[in-house]
């Protein structure tokens, strides 16, 4: 798969040098010339504010600010008015509750360690080509957490204003009266 990232700026926030080097090498080979590397979340936040990257790739487990905290800071910033910046989190964690915590913080997608060059390319292309709707509310700011389109018990796609399984019952009851 060939991809041209020459017009895209990417911030890598990674404290483990071999992983940072792999990411930088792959992204440079894809043409990325606006590539920044921060060694921890604190430095990553400063770089984010200074360089305003198009994509952030961050590790989860760092000190003094981890990838979840960094994501929350980015999603809540008022100074930099781009809450839509895609955030790709690299992680060795696979427990469902931890992944849900990251998703709920506003992470766009995950890339499990160890990852391959193909995985990096697939995740970056997915972020660029298959952007999800963005949600801004009092309790959440980030990409829509629902990845699948809603369907009813007969597996029919529903495109109306109500999307959750419970909404089907509510809608039918509302229209029956």
Neighbours of 100 (CB within 10 A): 11
Neighbours of 36 (CB within 10 A): 18
- Pairing between strand 109-112 and 55-59? unpaired
pLDDT at 167: 47
Domains of the chain: 9-132 (3.40.50.2300), 146-177 (no CATH)
pLDDT in tens, the chain (177 residues): 567 899 999 999 999 999 999 999 999 999 999 999 999 999 999 999 999 999 999 999 999 999 999 998 988 877 556 767 899 999 888 788 888 888 888 888 889 899 999 999 999 988 888 766 666 656 566 666 555 444 445 555 555 555 555 444 433 333 333
At residue 54, the 3 state secondary structure works out as coil
Quote the distance between the C-alpha of residue 63 and its chain's center. 20
pLDDT at 153: 52
Cβ atoms of 112 and 91 closer than 8 Å: yes
pLDDT at 86: 93
């Amino acid at each position: 798969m060939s991809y041209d990232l020459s017009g895209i700026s990417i911030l890598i926030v990674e404290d483990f040098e071999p992983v940072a080097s792999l990411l930088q090498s792959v992204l440079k080979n894809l043409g990325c010339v606006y590539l920044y590397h921060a060694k921890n979340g604190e430095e990553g936040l400063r770089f984010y504010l200074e360089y305003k990257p198009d994509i952030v790739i961050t590790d989860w487990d760092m000190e003094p600010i981890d990838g979840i905290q960094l994501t929350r800071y980015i999603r809540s910033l008022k100074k930099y008015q781009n809450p839509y910046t895609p955030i790709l989190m690299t992680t060795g964690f696979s427990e469902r509750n931890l992944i849900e915590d990251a998703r709920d913080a506003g992470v766009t997608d995950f890339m499990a360690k160890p990852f391959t060059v193909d995985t990096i390319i697939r995740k970056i292309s997915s972020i660029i080509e298959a952007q999800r709707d963005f949600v801004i509310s009092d309790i959440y700011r980030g990409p829509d957490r629902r990845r699948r389109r809603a369907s009813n018990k007969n597996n029919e796609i529903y495109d109306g204003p109500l999307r959750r399984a419970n909404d089907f019952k509510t809608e039918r009851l509302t229209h029956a009266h």
